[in-house]
Amino acid sequence: MNRRQLIHAAAAIATLLALTACGDKAAPPAPKKADAPKAPEVQVVKIGVASPLTGAQAHIGIDIRNGVQLAIEDANKAGVSIGGKAVKLEMVAEDDEANPTKATTVAQKLADAKVSAVVGHFNSGASIPASKIYADAGIPQISPSSTNPDYTLKGYKTTFRVVAHDGQQGPTLGRFALDKLKAKTIAVIDDSTAYGQGLADNFEAAVKVGGAKLVAREHTTDKDTDFKAILTKIKGKNPDLIMFGGIDPQAGPMKKQMAELGIKVPLIGGDGMQTPNFIKLAGEASEGTMASIPGLPKDKMPGGTEFLAKYKAKFNAEVELFAPMGYDAVMVFIEAMKRAGSSDPAKFLPEISKTNYNGVIGPIAFDEKGDLTNGPITIYVVKGGKWEALETVTPNTGANNTSKAEAPKDAAKK
């Protein structure tokens, strides 16, 4: 009996192995079929895209892949010539399942497939481990969506992103508070987490440099629900504005308790509290609260309306979030290849750093770390029980042409 079970188990494992092996082999033949009928002088340039295509975040991952696909089709339709030779672009899409371990496997697979460049990954947790593999293989990587500052701090020449990172949110919020809200005295609260405290510290530094007075710096935790004591203390200091670095389960009751204590000044925070849940928790008190999210609202992007229509026509679906970033990432690669006259990563990689491209999401340029300079951040405000886009702030306000030269210097100071 035991023996039979053993045999069954072995058989099951063998079948599984065979299936996985088949799965691995099934992908590569497709591209071969595609380039077989082409004339030999048309060179094929492969662009990889890695994002979660299955699981809970699949809708966002597929959105990114669709953006890349659209860009490649558009480029092929217009005709791309690199170094005087016509080339055909081809997409290699991989599923990283939003899983850091799977992300490295997928990255190696893309490197082995000799892709010229990669758009991905979606999650910071996936982009960061994968970035080492791309760096070792010398393949440039543009993440359309990863906002963790660490992603570009590994010192790799190959990592870029086309979205503002978390470290840019705090200073931008700070500038918004000073310039637009004219706040002179500010109280700052954080939830003692890496995200909340980081955001609050960046905000605090920016408003102090800007000449505002920090009247109170208070802390709570990401488990607490009673903020009356610290809010009462803040009330006694009479600030013009209260900033909270944290997420909605605290921000909601906090805003409600502010109203109960008769604190009339607005509350401002980061993307962690720009959620419908915040409004639900704070109730009517949520009105007038401001919070930021990196990026532009999709219908406000320079190429937004056109892109949304094109996307809808092609995929019969609405853009979720990051398809425009995926689209632009491909275009940035193509532009760099054109300027370098080569699709060899070693040759066109230096050109990516010099990018000055007007994409769907707006002007794209990178600093020396590979972060988007002038990455826009949109401030939303609660109006009539809904988050509404109030204003978009770019870290360095000014025309993109003039700011290009000084942008990296500025970013380095931060």
Partner 1 sequence: MDIFLQQILNGLLLGSIYALVALGYTMVYGILGLINFAHGDIVMVGALVAWSVISALGASLPVPTVLLLATAAAIVVCVVLGLVVERAAYRPLRHAPRLAPLITAIGVSILIQYSAALVWGKQYLSLPEIVKPGQIEFGGAQITTTQAFIFVLACAIMAALLWFVKASRMGRAMRATEQNPDVAGLMGVNTTRVIAFTFALGASIGAIAGVMVVLYYGQGHYFMGFMLGLKAFTAAVLGGIGNIPGAMLGGLLLGLIESLAAGYMGDITGGVFGSNYRDVYAFIVLVLVLMLRPSGLMGVGSGDRA
Which residues of this chain interact with partner 1, rule CB under 8 A?
A: 192, 217-221, 223, 225-226, 228-230, 232-233, 235-236, 249, 252-253, 256, 260-262, 277, 280-281, 283-284
Nearer to partner 1, 191 or 367 (CB): 191
CB of 380 to partner 1, least distance (A): 19
DSSP, collapsed to helix, strand or coil, labels residue 241 as: strand
Nearer to partner 1, 44 or 261 (CB): 261
CB of 221 to partner 1, least distance (A): 8
Contact indicator for 263, 235 with CB cutoff of 8 Å: yes
Question: H or E stretch including 214?
Answer: strand 213-219
CB of 262 to partner 1, least distance (A): 4
**Among candidates 227, 232, 230, 234, which has minimal Cα distance to 256?**
227
Tokens of 347: 């040759």
Residues 288 and 384: their CA atoms lie apart, in Å, by 9
User: How many CB atoms sit inside 10 A of residue 326's CB?
Assistant: 29
CB of 63 to partner 1, least distance (A): 24
User: How many CB atoms sit inside 10 A of residue 380's CB?
Assistant: 19
Contact indicator for 280, 248 with CB cutoff of 8 Å: no
Nearer to partner 1, 180 or 383 (CB): 383
Contact indicator for 68, 119 with CB cutoff of 8 Å: yes
CB of 283 to partner 1, least distance (A): 3
CB of 226 to partner 1, least distance (A): 6
- The letter for the amino acid at 159 is T
**Among candidates 246, 300, 296, which has minimal Cα distance to 274?**
246
Contact indicator for 333, 143 with CB cutoff of 8 Å: no
Cis peptide before 121 (omega within 30 of 0): yes
CB of 103 to partner 1, least distance (A): 25
CB of 216 to partner 1, least distance (A): 8
Q: Up-side HSE of residue 195: CA atoms within 13 Å toward CB? A: 14
Nearer to partner 1, 24 or 284 (CB): 284
User: How many CB atoms sit inside 10 A of residue 26's CB?
Assistant: 9
- What does the DSSP 8-state code read for residue 371? P
